Structure 1
Amino acid sequence: MPRWRLTPTSPLSVGIALPDRVVTNEELCETLNTSPGWIERKTGIRERRFLSDGETITDLAVASARKAVRQAGLSMRDIDVLVVTCSSPEWTMPSLGVMLADRLGIETPRIIDITQHACASVVYAVYSASCLLQEPDVQNALVVCAEGPSRVTDPADRLVRIFFGDAAGAMVLTKTPGSDGLLSYDLGNSPSPEVALAANALLNRQKAGADPVVGPYLTMDGPTVWQEATTRVPKSLAAALDAAGVEAGEVAGFALHQANLRLIEHIADSAGVDMAKVAVTVDTLGNTGGASPLTALWRLAQNGRAAAGDVIAVGAIGAGFLWGSLCFRLPYDLRVEA
């Protein structure tokens, strides 16, 4: 992919929102045929957050968006573009983006929902928002990635259930004077059914009384995911950095999809990246899908690795498969809540 040659854009702020309910490995093992130690050894995950009965994915999206806009020092009327991603919405229709805009008081007509990019969605959302910001009379975009995988994973599936947690992340993206901001990107895809979530159009087609060919829950082939992620993400990061003219050692921080800690460590090693530069949230949040790179960006800022002048890289892969990377040189400190 080429170097970004349009008007640069840069993240101003990141906000995250989490459910109150903490679910430990011990709690999961009350109903799953596994052990807390096995889960932590294999995944690096100790706990995650699940939505409670009274909470919704939309609630998380609203909360993260409000935090990001507040930290950016803006108001909702300053938002010209809204890009929302969610692979597990409560409703296929109406649009989550439209519902979110209504609750937040955002009046822009430039609303896009990205619904099938799964864990890679933030890369595509930021890329899409940056393209929309090329319009002359717009300045700020709000990207919101919200996921509730606890509600689409089988409570009895120990090979899938253990990985995921619920969260939302939001980023305010703004046009940037000068040359700093988004330097480059890399996007790629390869079709595969190895991570899948059936929709009503398929489920409703099945004959009454027949064994379903698919279920209502997320299915995932672990070895295929490992192979795709450890092959695609390092190459994508390398391509984005090469297009930006940046060496891996010059990058202050990496915000990678938080699939599981062992996978992150393998990707970092393959990419020649020092793990000290890689943000980790999967240990306490689990795999939060499309929101996970934003939780990682939030952690980078907390750790002082997203300051003005820093180069940061974002990389993710999602079901489909789709993958992508972004490289920024920050013109401003990335603002987050403590």
Structure 2
Amino acid sequence: MTRIGIVSTGSYLPDTVVGNEEIARGAGVSDEWIVRKTGIRERRRADDRDATSDLAARAALAALEQAGVQPQDVAYIVLATSTPDHPQPATASIVQHLIGAVNAAAFDINAVCSGFVYATTVAERLLRAADDGRYALVIGADIYSRILDYSDSKTAILFGDGAGAVLLGAVPEARGITETSLLSRGDQYRLISVPAGGSRMPANDRTLREGAHYFRMDGRGVRSFVQDNLPAALHELLERAGVERELVRHFVPHQANGVMLGEVWPELGLPRATMHLALEEYGNTGSASVPITLDVAHRRGEFADGETVLMAGFGGGMTVGAVLTRWAPTAFARPREQELTAVV
């Protein structure tokens, strides 16, 4: 059976840098307070003219360029986002159009900040079943700046905008994705939400006045959820895969909050692993945070052939997901020029 793994990575971060001082003024806190509570110093903000599909398409093109793969060779585009361009159609369909992936089936997944890991799991299964030598683009993209209440110090300080992508395809024997794990705790769905704008609470004048269209989060509840569920989920995954914790060399988590990750890190029991973080510069980019961090580390040359990489996401739903992979050698191809198709 063909082994499926990461062939290349890509990311896109908007040019506009937003430092803590700007966020702190609106939220009634200080730069020092934000750093002490989160480890975040700045984040990126999308241009007013851009939607989530634009960021996703640029990250996807970066991954294709790195591998030297043409868009028409992509069989699937699976886009993880909780900030889609529209309620419908799927944002992935717009990405397919933007990059010219005319042969790809395209669809969205919303598992909030676990979305990229969920999407990777789905795409790997599709490719393995098809076994036809084509590729899948897995993208995480979010523009949280559009749904934040900047007076809310619990949420405004955390989030940035961005997109990350991986190209999945056939890899050499004894490389690639070896195990995945997904879980949901729907009884705790109220911990993270955007209450208005759906079928239960359609947007109207009242919901706008009450700010019900903004992102809301119970910070303490989320922290407890992560502490209670993430270590157990990862330990179960490694046991099922038959991989000793000492063999994990790289841990790429959702970049939720640097302080919280520092607190849960000892509980994971990964003595030889490096935990990769990019949140100091980019903040919490939702479903994009794992692939952005993966791309940053990869382009720095931090992953060696055959090393075990563990990726983990956690977020609204509440959800936890993890992917265990053995890194395959990837070639940095010469970038090619390709323009995005204009969407009217």
**TM-score of the two chains, using structure 1 as the length reference:** 0.91
1:124 to 2:122 alignment: no
Q: 1:90 aligns with which of 85, 90, 95?
A: 85
Whether contact under 8 Å (1:14, 1:334) holds in the other structure is: no
| 1:62 Cα deviation from its structure 2 partner | 1.1
Partner of 2:25: 30
1:332 to 2:329 alignment: yes
Q: What's the secondary structure of 2:270's corresponding residue?
A: coil
User: Mean Cα displacement is larger for which, 135-144 or 187-196?
Assistant: 135-144
Partner of 1:3: none
Output one character per residue of 1:105-136: Cα deviation in whole Å (capped at 9) or x when no partner: 1112522211x300000111010001110213
Aligned residues: 331
Partner of 2:156: 161
User: Mean Cα displacement is larger for which, 71-80 or 272-281?
Assistant: 272-281
Alpha-carbon spacing, 1:27–1:334, altered in 2? closer, same or farther (3 Å): farther
Partner of 2:59: 64
* Residue correspondence of structure 1 range 1-338 to structure 2 within 5 A: 7-114=2-109, 116-133=110-127, 134-191=129-186, 192=188, 193-198=190-195, 199-204=197-202, 215-274=212-271, 277-333=274-330
Distance in 2 between residues matched to 1:67 and 1:211, nearest whole Å:
37
| 1:331 Cα deviation from its structure 2 partner | 2.7
Give the share of equivalent positions with the same residue, in percent. Answer: 31
Letter in 1 for 2:226: A
| 1:144 Cα deviation from its structure 2 partner | 1.2
Alpha-carbon spacing, 1:60–1:211, altered in 2? closer, same or farther (3 Å): closer
Gaps of 5+ in 2: 336-344
Distance in 2 between residues matched to 1:122 and 1:29, nearest whole Å:
29
Output one character per residue of 1:219-254: Cα deviation in whole Å (capped at 9) or x when no partner: 100011001112211122212222222222212211
Alpha-carbon spacing, 1:335–1:224, altered in 2? closer, same or farther (3 Å): farther
Distance in 1 between residues matched to 2:236 and 2:333, nearest whole Å:
28
| 1:272 Cα deviation from its structure 2 partner | 1.6
Distance in 1 between residues matched to 2:40 and 2:203, nearest whole Å:
37
Alpha-carbon spacing, 1:275–1:177, altered in 2? closer, same or farther (3 Å): closer
Distance in 2 between residues matched to 1:230 and 1:337, nearest whole Å:
43
Letter in 2 for 1:98: S
Distance in 1 between residues matched to 2:142 and 2:208, nearest whole Å:
29
**TM-score of the two chains, using structure 2 as the length reference:** 0.90
Whether contact under 8 Å (2:179, 2:323) holds in the other structure is: yes
Whether contact under 8 Å (2:194, 2:216) holds in the other structure is: yes
Q: What's the secondary structure of 2:227's corresponding residue?
A: helix
Alpha-carbon spacing, 1:266–1:128, altered in 2? closer, same or farther (3 Å): same
Distance in 2 between residues matched to 1:173 and 1:211, nearest whole Å:
41
| 1:139 Cα deviation from its structure 2 partner | 2.4
